[in-house]
């Protein structure tokens, strides 16, 4: 694998992690959204990745396969009888977003992004050294 291909693979990883950070940020922003777009509380979104092979180069890259609602985590029940969306018992169904989990996921995505930046920086340094040796 040549050095430019390494940079392309790392670039695909950066794009995927950037999309993941965007979705996590949306989740955190909607932690208190009792009314979502589909009539009901906002539902946490989850990013799935997949490996794709670039037919032109044969490189295996990563991309976002899908962004889907999290139906596995239960919605939070908050007691607020004054809320317009409260049920007969006074509970409001709130998003299934846990800020601790989202913060942890955001930190992990950020570190993966930084790791790809480091790969690109090291690859650029190797290319520069190679050019220096050729002089």
Q: What is the pLDDT of residues 90-135, one digit of tens each?
A: 999 999 999 999 999 999 999 999 999 999 999 999 888 888 888 7
Contacts of 33 (CB under 8 A, 6+ apart): 41, 42, 95
Average per-residue pLDDT for the chain? 91
The pLDDT confidence band at residue 15, using thresholds 50, 70 and 90, is: very high
Residue 67 CB partners (closer than 8 Å, separation 6+): 19, 23, 45, 46, 47, 48
Query: Cα separation of 20 and 73, whole Å?
Result: 19
57 confidence band (pLDDT: 50, 70, 90): confident
Show contacts of 2-6: CB within 8 Å, 24+ apart. Answer: 3/123, 3/126, 3/127, 3/130, 5/57, 5/59, 6/119, 6/123
């Amino acid at each position: 694998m040549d050095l430019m291909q390494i940079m392309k693979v790392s670039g695909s990883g950066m794009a995927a992690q950037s999309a993941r950070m965007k979705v996590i940020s949306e989740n955190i922003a909607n932690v208190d959204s009792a009314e979502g777009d589909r009539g009901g509380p906002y539902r946490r979104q989850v990013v799935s990745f997949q490996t794709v092979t670039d037919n032109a180069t044969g490189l295996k890259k990563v991309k976002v396969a899908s962004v889907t609602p999290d139906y596995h985590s239960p919605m939070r029940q908050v007691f607020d009888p004054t809320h317009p969306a409260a049920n007969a018992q006074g509970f409001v169904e709130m998003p299934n977003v846990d800020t601790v989990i989202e913060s942890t996921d955001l930190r992990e995505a950020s570190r993966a992004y930084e790791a790809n930046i480091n790969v690109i920086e090291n690859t650029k340094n190797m290319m520069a050294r190679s050019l220096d040796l050729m002089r």
